[in-house]
Structure 1
Amino acid sequence: MPDLDPSWDALRTFFAVMRDGSLSGAARRLKLAQPTVGRHIDALEAALGVSLFTRSPRGLVATAAAQALVPYGDAMSAAAAALVRSAASEGDDERGVVRITASEVIGAEVLPSIFAAFRAEHPGVALELAVTNRNEDLARGEADIAVRMVRPTQSGLVARRVGQTRIGLYAHRDYCRRFGEPRSLDELRAIA
């Protein structure tokens, strides 16, 4: 009969293994030793009475039972992030950490001046910028705010348009002499 009262550490470790796909990746993320991560997984499997992973030459493969737990991990991660934000918001001063993710271009070209103005008005708030062209998963707590060029598809997220960015196409004169200067997107596709 399963214990059904697994430790929070074991659950946190399990979700890190699911996210990273390996014991070593989860160990790095959680700053734990790999054998400790293995023990957490073994303890969780014993507590739940199910096998969560099978080992293969390619590494760990999540079982159907493990896959079924992922939505609960997402909810737990979101709740934990909300708990931290709530605790950080207590008191009279604005303080805490806000993790923002943006593409490389937006993170390098647009946000620095905005962040400087924000920090001048809110010195107790630390802004962490994750510059990546991959869309971070807000539901899993990978970031608090995402600056994206596309509307999110995840339910439960609030999306607001905050601005416009102009995009230009540029070519060297020699290129245009050789291939011509496209006048439309269709002509550009034909050149490419």
Structure 2
Amino acid sequence: MPGQASWDLYRSFLAVIQHGSFSAAARMLDLTQPTVGRHIAELQVLLDGKPLFTRSATGLTPTAAAHELRPHAESMAAAVAAFQRAATGEPNQVAGVVRVTASEVTGIEVLPPILAKLRNRYRGLEIELVLSNAMADLLRRDADIAIRLARPQQKSLMARRAGTIALGMHAHRRYLEVHGVPRTDEDLDRHSLIGFDHPPQFLQRYKVGVDLRRERFAFRTDNDTAQLAAIRAGVGIGVCQYGLARRDPDLINVVPDLFRMNLETWIVMHADQRKARHIKTVFDEIYRGVADYAATSAAPAA
């Protein structure tokens, strides 16, 4: 039965499916290629001989059985990583590894001074920062702490609301001096709009007075930090957090009566992580820092 396999076999399997060959997996795991091949062969025997990979011109192609097994191996890998991070913490010291996940903009624009303060205070802390707009699975222990834009529903997660971050449409003063300031949604048709290539899922939860169809954007990217950089460079008009815009007097809010989006921000961790002092300390400091930032991110009064 698959449950009888050791973690070493699943670890090699996951490395092969991620990297496409025995040799690449061996380099990643610091093993020999024959050892990885032997692990895969042993795992296949435990799976009643079901093949996990087929050879092709481009490397090893996962079979249907491998695709079915992959999420279970990923869950095991996340659990092992979480165990190792928890084991690094000293019971009475703020020291050890803490893995934090956040959106790209939050991780680049908001978190660095918060994390710097933590590291300066607690030299034994090691921070792993994962930037992604996809929600990390804290139940699967992909991360210890997450900054999310929606309240989690799972009872086993501990969440604290850090505040509301408001978004509005902004442009650099340099762009507006050349192209004028739009007043209506129709005015925006005469402007260079910055937006997404694929609509983000959270957008469906909001009703805004601006047409946000993909075809309307002259500059498209699904990377939020690239959108922000384009706004700052004067490419056109795009969506920006008020807290970030207030740091730069040259970023001007436009059509505030038409577009306003308020995102609730939550700091989340697994409830049993409260017992790990280093993780709880990082959680509390991130909460305070993000709450302070959120206080600067309110939209102006209508």
In structure 1, the partner of 2:275 is: none
Q: TM-score, normalised by structure 2?
A: 0.49
Q: Which residue of 1 aligns with 2:111?
A: 111
Identity of aligned residues (%): 45
Q: Partner residue of 1:168?
A: 168
Deviation at 1:52, TM superposition (A): 1.3
Unaligned runs of 5+ in 2: 186-207, 218-302
Answer whether contact 1:21 1:60 (CA < 8 A) is retained: no
The answer to whether the 8 A contact 2:51-2:63 is kept is yes
Distance (whole Å) between structure 1 residues aligned to residue 74 and residue 106 of structure 2: 27
For the aligned residues, what is the CA RMSD? Answer: 3.7
What code does the residue aligned with 2:7 have?
W
Q: Which has the higher strand share?
A: 2
CA distance in 1, matches of 2:104, 2:69: 33
- SS for the counterpart of 2:123 is coil
Q: Are 1:182 and 2:191 counterparts?
A: no
Write the deviation string for residues 83-125 of structure 1: whole angstroms up to 9, x where unpaired.
Answer: 3244223443232101112233211211122113333443322
Task: Give yes or no for the alignment of 1:99 onto 2:90.
Answer: no
Bigger fraction of residues in helix: 1
Change (3 A) 1:191 1:22: closer
**Change over 3 Å in CA distance of 1:100–1:123 after alignment to 2:** same
* Amino acid in structure 1 at the alignment position of 2:64: A
Q: Residues 97 and 125 of structure 1 are in contact (CA less than 8 Å); yes or no, is this contact kept in structure 2? A: yes
Within 5 Å, give how 1:133-152 maps onto structure 2. 133-138=133-138, 141-150=141-150
Closer/same/farther in 2, CA of residues 143 and 35 from structure 1, 3 Å limit: farther
Task: Name the SS of the counterpart of 2:184 in structure 1.
Answer: coil
Is the contact made by 2:2 and 2:43 (CA closer than 8 Å) also made in structure 1? no
Q: SS in structure 2 opposite 1:161?
A: strand
Letter aligned with residue 92 of structure 2: D
Point out the more displaced range, 29-38 or 72-81: 29-38
Note closer, same or farther for the CA distance 1:63–1:89 as it changes in structure 2 (3 Å cut). Answer: same
Indicate the larger mover: 21-30 or 111-120.
21-30
Q: Per the alignment, do residues 91 and 53 of structure 1 end up closer, same or farther by CA in structure 2, a change over 3 Å counting?
A: same
| Residues 104 and 131 in structure 1, CA contact (< 8 A), matched pair in contact too | yes
- Flag the structure with more relative contact order, 1 or 2, with Cα contacts below 8 A and sequence separation at least 6: 2
Taking the aligned partners of 2:63 and 2:156, their CA distance within structure 1 comes to: 27
Q: Which runs of 5+ in 1 are unaligned?
A: none
Change (3 A) 1:26 1:159: farther
Query: Could you tell me which amino acid in structure 1 is paired with residue 179 of structure 2?
Result: Y
> Aligned pair count?
188
Q: Assess if the C-alpha contact under 8 Å between 2:102 and 2:146 holds in 1.
A: yes
